[in-house]
């Protein structure tokens, strides 16, 4: 795919007239009001003539010809000290390092990212010999904050962090990305229906899916955090047909972590004693923390915690209400522990899963061994060899109670899918979401 | 030293009358309105009779006798899953770990701590085999937020984090602490004079110094972050005569990091090429980033950056204004990079300094080889063997320009000291601070 970095400046931002952009180009503004024009993926060649933007003087445009050669790369807006080029192979202390990996993050100016980016830069997530290129996606409105984040990353002097760029165009920011962490989403406004939220965020994720399809690494791993994350992930993968559907995740790891902690608390053990914790289904109040398969000190939970009423009634509620309780206590949403859980989700894919254990991630259901409906994104137990890929765990058991609850969260996801049919190429949306709010508290 | 954990509850908080506390006891309230009474360090034995608090019914007091045995320990408020006891020596994967270290943090509910605590818990600061006990100090007002922080630490499942307790009494929270990170401080209100700020925060740091003297580890390392941090550190160490003055630091590492980054940017190199960066003096606009001794790629800065005007005029200003620019861009103060710099400050004391290099920390000036006034806390170049201790670097050079600027920041610190004489046992304060605001922008 060819991208033309066709940049010029608005000399007079206030007086500029709307641009006349030809239909074969996508356009966006970047830092310093530079205008970037890009050839759409289905266009192979185009000639750009002067005058496409009325407010740009003709002599500022040098009639570039866009050619779809591989060497035509977009240049994202590298930031400050990260604009210098470093030859890692030339230096003693860095020559044994791995090849640089590119991590793109949306919602990069938000609070979750403010924790996560520093974790990634420090080496805590990808390891002490993995140099990092961070590409930060924000919005026109958040662009200044994005610069602030880049400045703080500069001031942190992390040796592994070698490239940082910022931008507001996903076609630019996602280019060649090997990991894409989609954290940005519109928050739900007062009185907004879930259907409206699905539509607003669905459109963002459809667009980002198209961008991933066009420019990301062909083996990119995508983790969707912005809510409603399961359906956002489904929309995203449907709009990225050239990337394996298996590579898309929606985050349920925070709930897995919270579930482990609550079981540990109840059992009077440290949290590292709890294993095999599955969160099934949707990232909503219909989600199912599975105490049938989970283990404490290698033993089934039910053998350790005899209080069946607590398990069936209080346990799930505790996890669901945790975010809401945190907002009450702390006045803010749980950005720090969400960032930790994103780091955990990545580490689970790049580290071999301990024998016998598994982790939860919401992934594409096609071919799942549990009888869950195909073609949705559903949280299930996964295991990884540490190569970035995963397989679904076969050895899980079900009882009627678990089946019934899994059915309910499955129905919700199927309804969310019907509600966003227009965004996944399945015709006209029919929105028959069950009444009642299933948004997790603390995530409005 | 004996501490009596003498706890009872106010049944009726609203109607309680003022307590009649005997002079040999200190008193404070902790979580749940528990009343804690403690024997002052100079009292060896006391008998407490009922009725010392008018609002406590006599039958709630069981006439305890305070005895100064070592086994009489205060019990801080352990939080949730961290209340369980773990025998690290009993398990294969933890038995080779080091002995637990206790880190106390004030201002623990604030934004800097919200970044720092997770770094410490993850092992990034003290290493992957160092189990951690975190003791969080907040205020009555921030207590709920402190619980929120502890909950997020629970949900993060960090294997190294084995104990977390929260409290509002420094005598309780600092007990046996080996590292104390004093981040909390009252922010400067609108129109507040620097003298008033020095007094308000000085009182807090005097109290915390007394608490450290009474209960902390005899070899505790203290890093003061709350501003005005140099003078706060001086007040703190003067109130803790039983702890070596050398063990107290005030943080200038963020400025060192920012200075390295700006030199790298100007020279067109990566920031890891900049070494030997000293920040001299006060953490205020009089501070002196030293480009005479700093090196780029092993060469004196002046040989690499020939632009003397930039070095003398723009460089220092860029560092000083960085915090202010960040607030403008990002809308918040630079909590993330401040937390990184605190982590760096700790790591510099527990890791051997690379040969030929040094780091900056504001430390006690007695015995300094630079001719700087004794008995203040002044940022100077330090080197460590990695044992938690440091020595001042001898091989630095001075020119008239550097001397003149060091003199100015020294004068400011001596004036701040005169201004807080009442808090360091030197009689009546005489406040003759020079006119003009020397608070660093972005730190109001």
Tens digits of residue pLDDT in B112-128: 999 999 999 999 999 99
Mutate to test the interface with A, among B112, B157, B296 (most CBs of A within 10 A): B157
Going by pLDDT thresholds of 50, 70 and 90, the confidence category of residue A194 is: confident
* Among the ranges given (A319-323, B40-44, B203-207), the one the predictor scored with the smallest mean pLDDT: B40-44
| Average pLDDT score over residue span A426-432 | 91
Highest mean pLDDT among A5-9, B90-94, B299-303: B299-303
Residues A155, B326: Cα–Cα separation, whole Å: 11
Tens digits of residue pLDDT in B325-356: 999 998 888 999 999 999 999 999 999 999 99
User: Does residue B31 sit at the A interface (CB-CB below 8 Å)?
Assistant: no
Residues B159, A271: Cα–Cα separation, whole Å: 8
Looking at the complex, report in whole angstroms how far the Cα of residue B56 sits from the nearest Cα belonging to chain A.
29
Tens digits of residue pLDDT in B375-432: 999 999 999 999 999 999 999 999 999 999 999 999 999 999 999 999 999 999 999 8
Is the pLDDT at A30 greater than 60? The verdict is: no
Helices (H) and strands (E) in chain A, counts: 11, 19
Going by pLDDT thresholds of 50, 70 and 90, the confidence category of residue A299 is: very high
In percent, the amount of chain A with pLDDT more than 70 equals 82
Mutate to test the interface with A, among B116, B270, B331 (most CBs of A within 10 A): B270
Tens digits of residue pLDDT in B147-202: 999 999 999 999 999 999 999 999 999 999 999 999 999 988 777 888 889 999 99
- The reported pLDDT for the residue numbered B42 is 47
| Average pLDDT score over residue span A68-86 | 66
Map B57-109 to HEC letters. CHHHCCCCEECCCCCCCCCCEECHHHHCCCCHHHCCCCCCCCCCEEEEEECCC
pTM, rounded to two decimals:
0.85
Residues B187, A35: Cα–Cα separation, whole Å: 42
User: Does residue A9 sit at the B interface (CB-CB below 8 Å)?
Assistant: no
Is the pLDDT at A220 greater than 80? The verdict is: yes
User: Does residue B111 sit at the A interface (CB-CB below 8 Å)?
Assistant: no
- The reported pLDDT for the residue numbered A381 is 98
Q: Measured between beta carbons, which residues in chain B are less than 8 angstroms from residue A145? A: 329-331
Touching B: A residues 251-290, CB under 8 Å: 254, 257-258, 260-261, 264-265, 268-272
Residues A274, A19: Cα–Cα separation, whole Å: 58
Is the pLDDT at B44 greater than 80? The verdict is: no
Across the interface, of B157, B260, B269, the residue whose CB is closest to A260 is B157
Is the pLDDT at B85 greater than 80? The verdict is: no
Is residue B119 within 8 Å of B125, Cβ to Cβ? yes
- The reported pLDDT for the residue numbered B194 is 81
Across the interface, of A86, A118, A336, the residue whose CB is closest to B152 is A336
The full set of domains in chain B, from first to last, is 1-75 (no CATH), 77-247 (3.40.50.720), 253-423 (3.90.110.10)
| A437 compared with A433, residue with greater pLDDT | A433
| Average pLDDT score over residue span B223-236 | 97
B32 token code pair? 């749940």
Q: Measured between beta carbons, which residues in chain B are less than 8 angstroms from residue A156? A: 257, 336-337, 340-341
Unique residue bearing structure tokens 């409105």: A141
User: Does residue A435 sit at the B interface (CB-CB below 8 Å)?
Assistant: no
* Among the ranges given (A23-32, A125-134, B50-59, B269-278), the one the predictor scored with the smallest mean pLDDT: B50-59
Alpha helix segments (H runs only) across B365-438: 400-419
Is the pLDDT at B138 greater than 80? The verdict is: yes
Helix (H) or strand (E) holding A78, with range, is: strand A77-78
- The reported pLDDT for the residue numbered A20 is 45
Contact B155 A261 (CB under 8 A): yes
Going by pLDDT thresholds of 50, 70 and 90, the confidence category of residue A385 is: very high
User: Does residue B308 sit at the A interface (CB-CB below 8 Å)?
Assistant: no
- The reported pLDDT for the residue numbered A214 is 98
Is the pLDDT at A231 greater than 50? The verdict is: yes
- The reported pLDDT for the residue numbered A31 is 41
| Residue B169, φ and ψ in degrees, nearest 5 | -115, 115
Please provide the DSSP assignment of A293-337 as one string: T-EETTEEHHHH---HHIIIIIIHHHHHHHHHHHHHHHSS--HHH
- The reported pLDDT for the residue numbered B408 is 97
Going by pLDDT thresholds of 50, 70 and 90, the confidence category of residue A222 is: very high
Q: Measured between beta carbons, which residues in chain A are less than 8 angstroms from residue B265? A: 80-81, 154
- The reported pLDDT for the residue numbered A202 is 96
Is the pLDDT at B102 greater than 60? The verdict is: yes
| B6 compared with B281, residue with greater pLDDT | B281
Q: Measured between beta carbons, which residues in chain B are less than 8 angstroms from residue A152? A: 326, 330, 334, 336-337
| Residue A343, φ and ψ in degrees, nearest 5 | -60, -45
- Angle at which helices B229-238 and B194-215 cross, to 10°: 40
Provide the terminal-to-terminal Cα distance of chain B, rounded to the nearest Å.
Answer: 39
| Average pLDDT score over residue span B279-289 | 96
- The reported pLDDT for the residue numbered A73 is 39
Tens digits of residue pLDDT in A201-214: 999 999 999 999 99
Residues B224, B184: Cα–Cα separation, whole Å: 9
Tens digits of residue pLDDT in A148-187: 999 999 999 999 999 999 999 999 999 999 999 999 999 8
Looking at the complex, report in whole angstroms how far the Cα of residue B171 sits from the nearest Cα belonging to chain A.
24
Mutate to test the interface with A, among B151, B156, B163 (most CBs of A within 10 A): B156
Is the pLDDT at A92 greater than 70? The verdict is: yes
User: Does residue A439 sit at the B interface (CB-CB below 8 Å)?
Assistant: no
Going by pLDDT thresholds of 50, 70 and 90, the confidence category of residue B61 is: very low
Across the interface, of A155, A265, A325, the residue whose CB is closest to B337 is A155
| A23 compared with A156, residue with greater pLDDT | A156
ipTM: 0.84
């Amino acid at each position: 795919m060819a991208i033309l970095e066709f940049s010029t400046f608005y000399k007079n931002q206030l007086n500029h007239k709307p641009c006349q952009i030809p239909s074969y180009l996508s356009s966006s503004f970047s830092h310093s009001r530079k205008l970037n024009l890009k050839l759409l993926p289905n266009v192979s060649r185009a000639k750009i003539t002067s005058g496409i933007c009325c407010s740009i003087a003709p002599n500022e445009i040098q009639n570039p010809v866009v050619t779809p050669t591989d060497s035509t790369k977009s240049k994202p807006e590298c930031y400050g000290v990260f604009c210098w080029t470093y030859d890692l192979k030339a230096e003693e202390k860095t020559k044994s390092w791995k090849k640089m990996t590119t991590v793109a993050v949306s919602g990069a100016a938000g609070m979750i990212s403010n924790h996560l980016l520093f974790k990634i830069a420090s080496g805590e997530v990808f390891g002490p010999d993995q140099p990092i290129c961070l590409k930060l996606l924000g919005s026109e409105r958040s662009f200044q904050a994005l610069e602030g984040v880049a400045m703080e990353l500069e001031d942190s002097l992390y040796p592994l962090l070698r490239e940082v760029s910022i931008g507001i165009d996903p076609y630019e920011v996602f280019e060649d990305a090997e990991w894409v962490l989609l954290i940005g989403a519109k928050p739900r406004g007062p009185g907004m229906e879930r259907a409206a939220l699905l539509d607003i965020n669905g459109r963002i994720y459809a667009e980002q899916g198209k961008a991933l399809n066009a420019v990301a690494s062909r083996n990119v791993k995508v983790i969707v955090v912005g809510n409603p994350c399961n359906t956002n992930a489904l929309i995203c993968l449907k709009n990225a047909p050239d990337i394996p559907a298996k590579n898309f995740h929606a985050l349920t790891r925070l709930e897995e972590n919270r579930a482990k902690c609550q079981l540990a608390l109840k059992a009077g053990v440290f949290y590292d004693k709890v294993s095999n914790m599955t969160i099934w289904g949707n990232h909503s109040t219909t989600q199912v923390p599975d105490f049938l398969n989970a283990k404490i000190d290698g033993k089934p939970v039910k053998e350790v915690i005899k209080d069946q009423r607590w398990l069936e009634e209080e346990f799930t509620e505790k996890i669901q209400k945790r975010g809401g309780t945190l907002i009450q206590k702390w006045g803010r949403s749980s950005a720090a522990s969400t960032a930790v859980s994103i780091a955990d989700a990545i580490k689970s894919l790049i580290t071999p899963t301990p024998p016998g254990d598994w982790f939860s991630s919401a992934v594409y259901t096609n071919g799942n061994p549990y009888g869950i409906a195909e073609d949705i994104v559903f949280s299930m137990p996964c295991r990884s060899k540490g190569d970035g890929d995963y397989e679904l765990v076969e050895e899980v058991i079900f009882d009627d109670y678990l089946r019934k609850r899994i059915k309910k969260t499955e129905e919700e996801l199927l309804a969310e899918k019907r509600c966003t049919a227009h965004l996944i190429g399945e015709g006209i949306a029919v929105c028959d979401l069950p009444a009642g709010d299933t948004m997790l508290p603390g995530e409005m």
